[in-house]
């Protein structure tokens, strides 16, 4: 069996050559499903470290984009051996950049980190109309709807999406988180989301708290930060 720590390290160092080499050797060994699970966990751990290093200002946006690319290539390499593996799935997220907005860098970073944390993420892409969110939510019944936007105008689209979910009778079945660098407590309240953030890693913590922590059906209309505090009380 290969050295998992070394793999985690290679990924968190963004050393793709090394990481790919380890993964290719691994695939060539016809690994057991248990080993596949372990190796995926090691990759995810590497991504979690990348996220932490972004929080501590050791990595910057280009590094996160690079890490995202590295992870998708890693998954490509592993594909032939992961088809039967149930990796840990802690919850389901429907994600998209909302209508009118084409910016997807932040969304993709969040997606990558959420997947590393064990979420199954259904990514609807950019410029996603409210109805598309509604249809996907009906189809995959996620616990969480996550919306991204960096354009100020997109706040309206976020609100429309929340309204559309309400109209379809789905609002109470999901938690809604919104992200993007201009999102504030006020916009969160206006939009009617459950939480907001301006960093992907905080977003992941909030989602983890939702699915691993309290029941999803508690009524909490105010916007929450990751400690679960109402922002109005902060």
Partner 1 sequence: MTEQNLLQERIQLFHDTAEFKKTKRIPQISNFFTWKILDSEFTLSEALFDYNKMEKVVCDFHERYNFDAYTDLGTRNPVRVTNALGGYHYVIDDEKEVINIDDQVYFEPEEYPELIENPIKFIWTKVLPRKYKKLREKDALNSFKIATYEFLAYSEYNQRIIEKFVKEYQVPTLMNMQGGVLLHPLEMLFNFFRGIKGLSLDLRRHKSQVLEAIAVLEKMFVEPALAALDNPGSPTTVFDAYTAFLAHSILSPKQFGEFYWPTLKRIIDKLVATGKKMYIFSENTMLQFYEYFQDVPKGHLIIHVELDDIFEARKKLPNICFAGGMPADLLGYADEQTCIDYAKKLIDEIGRDGGYIFSQNKMMSFRNDCKRENLLAVTNFVHNYNG
Footprint on this chain of ligand B12 (rule: CB under 6 A): 61, 100-107, 109-110, 146-148, 150-152, 177, 179-181, 197-200, 203
Binding of partner 1 by 20 (CB under 8 A): no
| Residue 184 binds which entry of partner 1, ligand B12, none, CB below 5-8 Å type-dependent | partner 1
Contact call for residues 150 and 103 (beta carbons, < 8 A) = yes
| Residue 148 binds which entry of ligand B12, partner 1, none, CB below 5-8 Å type-dependent | ligand B12
Radius of gyration, alpha carbons of the chain? 18
| Residue 20 binds which entry of ligand B12, partner 1, none, CB below 5-8 Å type-dependent | none
- ∠ Cα 113 64 160 (to 5°): 60
- The sheet carrying 195-197 orders its strands as 119-123, 91-97, 144-148, 175-179, 195-197
Question: Least distance (Å) from partner 1 to the CB of residue 101?
Answer: 8
Q: How many residues does the chain have?
A: 234
Minimum CB distance to ligand B12 smaller for 31 or for 179: 179
Minimum CB distance to partner 1 smaller for 69 or for 208: 69
Question: Least distance (Å) from partner 1 to the CB of residue 198?
Answer: 10
Contact call for residues 171 and 154 (beta carbons, < 8 A) = no
Contact call for residues 14 and 50 (beta carbons, < 8 A) = yes
Instruction: Give the footprint of partner 1 on residues 190-219 (CB under 8 A).
Output: 190
Q: Which are the contacts of 161, defined by CB distance < 8 A and separation ≥ 6?
A: 98, 99, 130, 133, 145, 147
Compute CA distances 210 → 14, 65, 175, 186, 223, whole Å.
30, 26, 8, 21, 13
Instruction: Give the footprint of partner 1 on residues 49-88 (CB under 8 A).
Output: 57, 59-63, 65-66, 69
Inter-helix orientation angle 105-116/33-55, to 10°:
130
Binding of partner 1 by 33 (CB under 8 A): no
* Range in contact with partner 1 (rule: CB under 8 A) among 1-9, 74-82, 140-148, 183-191: 183-191
Q: Which helix (H) or strand (E) holds 119?
A: strand 119-123
Contact call for residues 120 and 92 (beta carbons, < 8 A) = yes
Minimum CB distance to ligand B12 smaller for 82 or for 126: 126
Number of residues binding to partner 1, judged by CB under 8 A:
28
Question: Least distance (Å) from ligand B12 to the CB of residue 65?
Answer: 8
| Residue 199 binds which entry of partner 1, ligand B12, none, CB below 5-8 Å type-dependent | ligand B12
| Binding test (CB under 8 A) with partner 1, winner from 21, 25, 79, 153 | 153
């Amino acid at each position: 069996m290969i050295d998992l720590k070394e793999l985690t390290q290679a990924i968190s160092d963004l050393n793709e050559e090394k990481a790919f080499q380890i993964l290719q050797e691994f695939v060539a060994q016809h690994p057991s499903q248990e080993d596949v699970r372990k190796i995926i966990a090691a990759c995810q751990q590497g991504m979690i470290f990348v996220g932490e290093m972004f929080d501590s200002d050791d990595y910057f946006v280009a590094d996160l984009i690079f890490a995202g690319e590295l992870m998708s290539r890693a998954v490509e390499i592993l594909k032939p051996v992961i088809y039967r593996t149930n990796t840990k799935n802690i919850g389901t997220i429907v994600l998209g950049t909302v209508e009118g907005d084409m910016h997807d860098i932040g969304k993709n970073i969040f997606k990558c980190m959420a997947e590393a944390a064990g979420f199954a993420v259904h990514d609807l892409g950019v410029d996603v109309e409210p109805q598309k969110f509604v249809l996907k939510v009906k189809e995959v019944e996620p616990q969480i709807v996550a919306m991204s936007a960096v354009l100020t105008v997109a706040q309206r689209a976020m609100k429309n999406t929340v309204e559309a979910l309400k109209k379809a009778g789905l609002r109470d079945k999901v938690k809604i988180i919104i992200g993007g660098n201009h999102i504030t407590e006020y916009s969160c309240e206006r939009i009617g989301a459950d939480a907001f953030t301006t960093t992907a890693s905080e977003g992941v913590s909030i989602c983890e708290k939702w699915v691993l922590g309290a029941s999803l059906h508690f009524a909490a209309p105010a916007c929450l930060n990751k400690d679960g505090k109402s922002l109005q009380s902060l």
